[in-house]
A and B are shown apart, each in its own frame.
Chain A
Amino acid sequence: MADVKKHDTPMCDELKTGNWPSFVDDLEQRGLAGKQECLDLLGQLELSYKHKETHWKHGGIVGVFGYGGGVIGRYSDVPDKYPSIAHFHTVRLNQTSSKFYSSAYLRKLCEIWDYRGSGMTNFHGSTGDIILLGTKSNQLEPIFYDVTHQLGTDLGGSGSNLRTPAGCIGKSRCEYACIDSEAICYDLTQTFQDELHRPAFPYKFKFKVSGCPNDCVAAIARSDCSIIGTWKDDIRIDQSAVQAYVNGELKPNAGAHSDRDWGKFDIQKEVIDLCPTKCMWMEGKDLKIDNRECTRCMHCINIMPVALRPGVNTGATILLGAKAPILDGAQLSSLAIPFIRMEPPYDEFKDFVGKIWDWWMEEGKNRERFGELMQRQSLQKLIKMAELTPIPQMIKEPRSNPYVFWSAEEVEGGWERDVKAFRSRHAA
């Protein structure tokens, strides 16, 4: 056994007894094979369980030269007890589009990290980056040199920066992709290098790109700006394949969920009745869709992928303002642009991004997410600042309209309001 010291960690050890593999096992194994950091980390965690408070200090001044992100300073506040993790900085690396790696790449990365850091990784952080957990300040520049020169990999975003953009596997593997999510993700990463590596904003900002409304990267829940592929024209229908599903020759959901016998496929019950806008029906043997009413939910396409395909007139829907529940609870993003072409060089989209960033940089409070600014200053202000044209779809329901309010200048003849006279008739 390597020359390492294992701490007594009864509470951590309990986590090993469950049914699932435990990070405690992983840390212990790697630690006993020679990484004192892993054992010290478990020791400090045990202490935190005991004291019911963290023993990490909050942040710090670390980074690599010229970058204002990608490295997060972590310092132990009990370094005497656990000296190997006195510095335990996190390094974020920009993952490849859709997270395709070769095994050679991963081996090289692990070699570098075993040599210069704790050997512990987190594939992937919730933003999408490769997270390398735990290294010392004097290793940061060498790590940066090695990953850029040997792997061609850059640091990711952290702090009040643009965060590393992420996308679904899109056109490389998925027939549903309406836009090239990987190309878009890569282009945004390159275009906004400055915002990605140096803090520019009141708080973090995330782009996520999904090729279709199935939204496999959960852009609508996890990004300040969600780019989701969609189509304008009609769902493509192959009526003979529809019949093949009806007759049981093709498996619904491409055979997923086939571990149980769900009985004979029933197109009425499983597809038509579940269409959220009720815009599908059978006419004899033909499946009909009123495409004007279709909300592109993907349900019918997911069930009968051979028979139904997204249209060919494709682009993206842009939504803004999702965030996790720090202030005011979690929030999904709200519709900003129902349809925009997403062809390189994506100028129309980038113009739009410039406008919303200007607004946020000007008006956003410290540590206010973009979605919180939208909430605070209203969706009406958003469409004004982003120079969007209001459309009927922005009306949530009759008499409840979060996006559009007229101002006197916008209405022919305008109007005048005497607040004093109003108040004489109505209590404040």
Chain B
Amino acid sequence: MAVDKEELKAKILEFATKKAKFKSKMYIKDLYAAEPNASPREIKNAANDLVKEEKLEFFSSGSTTMYGVPGFGKGIEEAFEDDKSE
């Protein structure tokens, strides 16, 4: 189902900011939960738009890319340690 992009961006940002308090780095897959009606591709495009607007930021290990909210964050190793246990 097509979803309005600006609405979707607002939802993703709200979701990511809430989540960032507990987990500062998110996979694109985690962001799917922001709007279950949007397709993975719509979420990806909206999240990448938010990065362009500097409201989200990319975080890359070289092999994987995660999303973060500027200002939230813990050590880089910690973020990757965390997701090993999932």
| A residues whose Cβ falls under 8 Å from a Cβ of B | 57-63, 65-66, 68-69, 71-73, 90, 158-161, 198-204, 358, 361-362, 364-367
A-contacting residues, B27-86, CB 8 Å: 27-30, 39-41, 44, 48, 51-52, 57-65, 68, 76-77, 80, 83, 86
A-B contacts, 19 of them at CB < 8 A, read A58-B76, A59-B60, A59-B61, A59-B76, A60-B76, A68-B48, A72-B61, A72-B62, A158-B60, A159-B58, A159-B60, A160-B28, A160-B65, A161-B65, A200-B28, A200-B41, A358-B41, A361-B44, A366-B86
Q: Could you say which residues of chain A place their CB within 8 Å of the CB of B68?
A: 61
B80 and A59 within 8 A (CB): yes
Q: Could you say which residues of chain B place their CB within 8 Å of the CB of A73?
A: 60
B60: which of A69, A200, A358, A366 is its contact (CB, 8 Å)?
A69
Cα A200 to Cα B51 with chains together (Å) = 13
B60 and A202 within 8 A (CB): no
A199 and B65 within 8 A (CB): yes
A72 and B60 within 8 A (CB): yes
8 smallest CB-CB distances across A and B, nearest first, come from: A159-B65, A59-B61, A361-B40, A199-B65, A72-B62, A160-B65, A159-B60, A366-B27
Q: Could you say which residues of chain A place their CB within 8 Å of the CB of B86?
A: 366
A60 and B64 within 8 A (CB): no
B83 and A366 within 8 A (CB): yes
User: How far in angstroms is the closest Cβ of chain B from A35?
Assistant: 23
Cα A312 to Cα B51 with chains together (Å) = 48
| Residue of B with least CB distance to A201 | B28
Cα A204 to Cα B61 with chains together (Å) = 12
User: How far in angstroms is the closest Cβ of chain A from B41?
Assistant: 7
A358 and B64 within 8 A (CB): no
Given A59-B60, A68-B51, A361-B44, A366 contacting B65 (CB threshold 8 A):
no
A199 and B58 within 8 A (CB): yes
Q: Could you say which residues of chain B place their CB within 8 Å of the CB of A72?
A: 60-62
Q: Could you say which residues of chain B place their CB within 8 Å of the CB of A158?
A: 60, 62-63, 65
A358: which of B40, B51, B52, B61 is its contact (CB, 8 Å)?
B40
Cα A141 to Cα B28 with chains together (Å) = 25
Q: When A and B form their complex, what is the total count of cross-chain residue pairs whose Cβ atoms lie within 8 Å?
A: 91
Cα A203 to Cα B83 with chains together (Å) = 14
| Residue of A with least CB distance to B60 | A159
Cα A202 to Cα B63 with chains together (Å) = 11
Q: Could you say which residues of chain B place their CB within 8 Å of the CB of A366?
A: 27, 29-30, 64, 83, 86
Given A59-B80, A60-B60, A68 contacting B28 (CB threshold 8 A):
no
User: How far in angstroms is the closest Cβ of chain A from B68?
Assistant: 7
Cα A348 to Cα B79 with chains together (Å) = 40
Q: Could you say which residues of chain A place their CB within 8 Å of the CB of B62?
A: 59, 72, 90, 158-159
| Residue of A with least CB distance to B81 | A58
Q: Could you say which residues of chain A place their CB within 8 Å of the CB of B61?
A: 58-59, 72, 159
Given A61-B58, A159-B63, A159-B65, A361 contacting B76 (CB threshold 8 A):
no
Cα A62 to Cα B86 with chains together (Å) = 25
Q: Told that A62-B60, A366-B83 touch, could you supply 12 new A-B pairs with CB distance under 8 A?
A: A59-B76, A66-B52, A159-B60, A159-B63, A160-B65, A199-B44, A199-B58, A199-B65, A202-B27, A361-B41, A365-B29, A366-B64
